[in-house]
A and B are shown apart, each in its own frame.
Chain A
Amino acid sequence: DVKVTQSSRYLVKRTGEKVFLECVQDMDHENMFWYRQDPGLGLRLIYFSYDVKMKEKGDIPEGYSVSREKKERFSLILESASTNQTSMYLCASMLGQGGELFFGEGSRLTVL
């Protein structure tokens, strides 16, 4: 059974803290994605990666960075968390470039 695992379901951080959100997939997919989901704004793409050490900006990359050192792992980094980054963060992976997205269960981040 395919699986995308996000390391933390719930996090509470303070403004200015550095935050790491980890995502691991066991399907050997080349493509991995980070979205955030907010009420009234839907899912918005932050960053994505087509291969190890490759990264591409999505629609809202400001305030975020990513790391993909291994094929199965894609990390989202908030260098200095701000309250407007309070959100649900969803990691996903995809085989090829036009297929199904498999999502993790999400990480709900609250920045105080």
Chain B
Amino acid sequence: RKEVEQDPGPFNVPEGATVAFNCTYSNSASQSFFWYRQDCRKEPKLLMSVYSSGNEDGRFTAQLNRASQYISLLIRDSKLSDSATYLCVGTNAGKSTFGDGTTLTVKP
């Protein structure tokens, strides 16, 4: 079993849709969690950190449930520019483990 598992996708949604990505992690010692965005043939870049209290950045909301070892990312009012691969990451003692990523395509 992988340490970080994501919805396999792909997700194909129309503009304006709300889409949710889920991720589970098996290492209960993981301390920090993040969502990264990776565009085609580019390097991953940080989208947002994930906290138990939940955090919001514009149209993006991330949530961590430590009891269920579950992380989520919600994108509201999807834009064409949101098309990318979204990577869930758990970090323990400085070592970051990535999920395989979920590909999102937003269509006009």
- In the complex, are the beta carbons of A42 and B94 less than 8 A apart? no
Report A-chain residues with C-beta under 8 Å of the C-beta of B61: none
**Given A31-B94, A43-B87: A101 and B44 interface contact (C-beta under 8 Å):** yes
- In the complex, are the beta carbons of B100 and A42 less than 8 A apart? yes
Interface residues of B in 57-96 (CB under 8 A from A): 87, 89, 91, 93-96
Interface residues of A in 23-64 (CB under 8 A from B): 31, 33, 35, 40-43, 45, 48, 50, 58
- In the complex, are the beta carbons of B100 and A41 less than 8 A apart? yes
Interface residues on A, range: 20 to 34
Q: Is the interface of B mostly helix, strand, loop or mixed?
A: strand
Q: Residue on A with the closest CB to B85?
A: A42
Report A-chain residues with C-beta under 8 Å of the C-beta of B34: 100
Q: Specify which of B32, B44, B87, B96 lies most central, judged by the most chain A CB atoms within 10 Å of its CB.
A: B96
**Given A45-B95, A45-B96: A104 and B43 interface contact (C-beta under 8 Å):** yes
Tell me, yes or no, whether B27 is within 8 Å of chain A by CB.
Answer: no
Q: Specify which of A40, A45, A98 lies most central, judged by the most chain B CB atoms within 10 Å of its CB.
A: A98
Given contacts A35-B98, A99-B32, A100-B46, 9 further A-B contacts (CB under 8 A): A31-B94, A40-B100, A41-B100, A42-B100, A45-B97, A48-B94, A58-B95, A90-B43, A105-B43
Query: Can you list 29 A-B contacts with CB-CB less than 8 angstroms, sorted by A residue number?
Result: A31-B94, A41-B100, A42-B87, A42-B101, A43-B87, A43-B98, A45-B95, A45-B96, A45-B97, A48-B94, A48-B95, A58-B95, A90-B43, A90-B44, A97-B93, A97-B94, A98-B31, A98-B32, A98-B91, A98-B94, A100-B34, A100-B49, A101-B36, A101-B44, A101-B89, A101-B96, A103-B43, A103-B45, A105-B43
The list of the 7 closest CB pairs from A to B, nearest first, reads: A97-B94, A42-B100, A103-B43, A98-B32, A43-B98, A100-B46, A98-B91
By a beta-carbon cutoff of 8 Å, the part of chain B in contact with chain A is 31-32, 34, 36, 42-46, 49, 87, 89, 91, 93-101
